[in-house]
Amino acid sequence: MSMKSVSPQTGQVLQEYATLTPEQLESRLSASQAAFESYRLSSPEDRTRWMMAAADALESRREELAVLATQEMGKTVESARQEVDKCAWVCRYYAEHAAEFLAPQPVQTAAQSAEVRYLPLGPVLAVMPWNFPYWQVFRFAAPTLMAGNTGLLKHASNVPGCALAIEEIFTEAGFPAGVFQTLLIGSRDVEGVLRDPRVRAVSLTGSEGAGRAVAGTAGQEIKPAVMELGGSDPFIVMPSADLDLAVQTAVNARTLNNGQSCIAAKRFLVHTDIYSAFEAKFVEKLAALRLGDPLEEGTDVGPLATASIRDELHEQVQDAVSKGARLLLGGELPSGGAGYHYPVTALADLTPEMQVWSEETFGPVALLFRVRDIDHALEIANGTRFGLSSSAWTQDSAEQERFIRDLDAGATFINAMSVSDPRLAFGGVKASGFGRELGREGILAFVNAKAVSIG
């Protein structure tokens, strides 16, 4: 069996990789367990040194890693460089803060002394997506390894080159053999790995379908899981907002990573008083973006990662247009040319019968909604099964508080776009998942919070 790396720019196969045989998979699982037995006893100082070295290794291979990600999944090379930098940041962040997050918490009880200690669990499986092929993995691995667990990566099948490069980074950094391993396996092998008693927990970032399958298995096996799934995040603009800043941020938020980000703003809910001005400026700026080869400096939007992502997106757009949506921009598949490009697209006058009303659009397609007031904005914003992040633009402090209280999402950014940050807990509610990555919450996701009581 093999896994292919296919260029989204040309549609050509870049490289083929052999997947693991059952024997190779078994040997990696037992190496993970064996490594855990000694790694869990390693000193915090050693772990800090290795994680700092991982950050250095990322930076010293920055250009090579960036080009590899661009070739495999089509993000612009500049955004790939920024992704590598962010990975180095998350490594250093947890290297510096893990000891503080994991410090025993004394508790007053009737005993002589009592405390909660945070001990590692064992090998943790990560099932990861291709859209941020490094960041998704490092934001899992940095806290998980600093807590003393070992990591097993099942990366998306279209980014095997990135998956192997990540294992190399941890090896180069000096982590003991077996502490972080990549498993080149298909999604059908995930269930068996997760049911293996040596694997103690799972973290998945990806689609709702993958989340349901993996969370289901984790539930049956009674293993902790963190699920970071899709989103259809609202971006709400009220009359008091700084309109030009909101428009520019909306453009960035929708087209970042070629529109393939779980926390991208996907639905733009604009107050009726400023709707026409917003729509005109937004569409003008979207139309000015430069589409093209993601390896060329200056390209704003590259191709989508796979043919099937593009086909699904185009089907959603056609469905909306056939049901009466107003097409403001894009919406036509490029005629001729290789690769999986899709034009930046904007749709308005949407209704609940359209797929885009309730589904995630994973590509550069913006959905515009005219809202009457704050209640109407909240009703539409909360009216999907997703609840990952949200962004609301208003200078009015009462409105800000209302959005923070009533937006049913894992995060609310006021007058800013949603971003992930090593320092801030990240995750969703409803079908966007459960559990948190990053911040203190992220490192506590995969520990045994052991109660200790001494007579």
- Other beta carbons within 10 Å of 132: 26
Asked whether position 131 contacts ligand NDP by CB under 6 A, the answer is yes
- Taking CB under 6 A as the rule, which mask of x and - marks residues 392-421 in contact with ligand NDP? ------------------------------
Query: Residue length, the chain?
Result: 455
Residue 442 · residue 139 · CB < 8 Å: yes
- What minimum distance in Å lies between the beta carbon of 345 and ligand NDP? 15
Task: Indicate which single residue of 123, 161, 230, 439 sits in contact with ligand NDP (rule: CB under 6 A).
Answer: 230
Asked whether position 141 contacts ligand NDP by CB under 6 A, the answer is no
- What minimum distance in Å lies between the beta carbon of 156 and ligand NDP? 4
User: Contact region for ligand NDP (CB under 6 A) — 183-191, 241-249, 374-382, 437-445?
Assistant: 183-191
User: Contact region for ligand NDP (CB under 6 A) — 91-99, 203-211, 241-249, 285-293?
Assistant: 203-211
Task: Indicate which single residue of 84, 98, 121, 128 sits in contact with ligand NDP (rule: CB under 6 A).
Answer: 128
Task: Indicate which single residue of 7, 32, 157, 258 sits in contact with ligand NDP (rule: CB under 6 A).
Answer: 157
Of the pair 8, 148, the CB lying nearest ligand NDP is at 8
Task: Indicate which single residue of 57, 229, 374, 409 sits in contact with ligand NDP (rule: CB under 6 A).
Answer: 229
- Taking CB under 6 A as the rule, which mask of x and - marks residues 290-329 in contact with ligand NDP? -------------------x--------------------
Direct distance between the N- and C-terminal alpha carbons of the chain, in angstroms, rounded to an integer: 58
Asked whether position 173 contacts ligand NDP by CB under 6 A, the answer is no
Considering 228, 279, 360, 437, which one is annotated as catalytic?
Answer: 228
What b/e readout covers 79-103, taking b as 16+ CB neighbours within 10 angstroms? bbbebbebbbbbbbbbbebbeebbe
Asked whether position 206 contacts ligand NDP by CB under 6 A, the answer is yes
Task: Indicate which single residue of 167, 279, 293, 360 sits in contact with ligand NDP (rule: CB under 6 A).
Answer: 360
- Taking CB under 6 A as the rule, which mask of x and - marks residues 245-274 in contact with ligand NDP? -----------------x------------
228 has catalytic annotation:
yes
User: Contact region for ligand NDP (CB under 6 A) — 164-172, 182-190, 283-291, 327-335?
Assistant: 182-190
- What minimum distance in Å lies between the beta carbon of 114 and ligand NDP? 39
268: closest CA among 408, 417, 429?
Answer: 417
- What minimum distance in Å lies between the beta carbon of 437 and ligand NDP? 11
- What's at 270, amino acid-wise? V
Considering 262, 279, 360, 399, which one is annotated as catalytic?
Answer: 262
Asked whether position 213 contacts ligand NDP by CB under 6 A, the answer is yes
Residues in region 11-50 near ligand NDP by CB under 6 A: none
Would you please indicate which residues are annotated as catalytic (active-site) residues? 228, 262
Q: Point out which residues bind ligand NDP (CB under 6 A).
A: 127-131, 154-157, 186-187, 190, 205-207, 210, 213-214, 228-230, 262, 309, 360, 362
